[in-house]
Amino acid sequence: MRDFDGAAPAYVGRTDGPAVFDYLIVGAGFAGSVLAERLAAGLGKRVLLIDRRPHIGGNAYDHHDDAGVLIHRYGPHIFHTNSQPVADYLSRFTQWRPYEHRVLAHVDGQLVPIPINRTTVNKLYGLDLDEAGVAEFLKSRAEPVADVRTSEDVVVGAVGRELYEKFFRGYTRKQWGLDPSDLDKAVTARVPTRTNDDDRYFGDSFQNMPLHGFTRMFENMLDHPNITIRLGADFRDVVRDARYRNLIFTGPVDEYFEYRFGKLPYRSLTFRHETVDQEWFQPVAVVNYPGEEVPHTRITEYKHLTGQTNPRTSLTYEYPSAEGDPYYPIPRAENAALYRKYQELADATPNVHFVGRLATYRYYNMDQVVAQALALYTRIAKAEGAVAEGARGISGIGAAPQPAPSSAPVHSRREAS
């Protein structure tokens, strides 16, 4: 493995003779890094992994700031999963720090739990309801919608219009640049409503943070002699000269096809990182700001995530944006229809696999991306006739490397189809 932090060439020089890469993988986030590790360690493939950013880890990249606090450059990434195989796989490359994520929302001048629970209702309204009382309270305010289609329908149908206005409408309008009534129901359906005091943001069976950070986990994952890494490298420059047999693309699918049908819409983010001269700034890692009177959606304080001890603390203010790096596919029917056109092109493109959030225009959690990458590895291993143990994907991590087939076509230059 090479070039984690140092300057990297813009492209890999052309290789003379038969010494080529079996796989060119575009993007060093979860999808690309998992596949690089599996193909190299599980099948003995020679892998060239590239990323246009100057670091590995994609949006999960973290690093120590000037105060010595481990921060997430692209906003908080909280690992959680119900998939034991995914947890077992990642555990090969990191130890874990137990962490259950809790989020507060700044509403009516006070901090209350989100997702809405019994504590939220009692604190906002000065009540002392038990679980049954909270259930009845929410039921009395709910405005059921016969045909649930939008994010507004989901929330108003569950908790009523007043709580929808307090917690969801402003936040959603800032986050997506659209009113919840214009967004698919999937956006707010991800956030539950509870009648008990459970204030955890996630209910997954496995909730932990990498003990030494995500970047260290990626470094361990990619530390293999069959993996060559080039950072600060643009895909178009690399394919001009690199020799490879197969391509795995984790970037935006519309970019790969040079926006043939137009750009797929995304929401972006900008971040303001700062360090303050006090030990703690807020009681939990993330505080949401649903009100439209402030431009940011949330503030993250990282020491809650890392467990570090430091007399100073580091924060990130998060501002949604219409311009910038693509973060969130916008879930609307017309966007899904546009993606399907690109999906048809992707399905018809030989020797290229599209995987991950951007390549499939879906909002995936980190564990879902890992599972998708492992599933693709299993299909590749089976298609290449690997031994049964190696073809089991996760359970075949320790399988003996298999030689690369010599009959595969070599691409000395691949144009976007």
Please check the confidence at residue 214 and state whether its pLDDT lies above 70: yes
Confidence of residue 386 (pLDDT cuts 50, 70, 90): low
pLDDT tens-digit profile of 195-208?
999 999 999 999 99
Confidence of residue 240 (pLDDT cuts 50, 70, 90): confident
- Number of residues in the chain: 417
CA angle 37/40/43 to nearest 5° reads 120
pLDDT tens-digit profile of 86-98?
999 999 999 999 9
pLDDT tens-digit profile of 307-341?
999 999 999 999 999 999 999 999 999 999 999 99
| Residue 164 CA, distance from chain mean position | 26
**Predicted pLDDT of residue 409:** 43
Please check the confidence at residue 116 and state whether its pLDDT lies above 80: yes
**Region of 274 on the Ramachandran plot (φ > 0 left; ψ -120 to 50 alpha; else beta):** beta
**Predicted pLDDT of residue 384:** 84
Q: What is the DSSP letter of 259?
A: T
Asked if the bond preceding 115 is cis, omega within 30° of 0, the reply is: yes
Letter string b/e over residues 333-356, b meaning 16 or more CB atoms within 10 A of that residue's CB: eebbebbeebbebbeebeebbbbb
21 within 8 A of 47, measured Cβ to Cβ: yes
Please check the confidence at residue 402 and state whether its pLDDT lies above 80: no
Confidence of residue 246 (pLDDT cuts 50, 70, 90): very high
Residue 69, Cβ neighbours under 10 Å: how many? 20
φ/ψ of 20, rounded to 5, equals -125, 170
247 within 8 A of 352, measured Cβ to Cβ: yes
Please check the confidence at residue 16 and state whether its pLDDT lies above 50: no
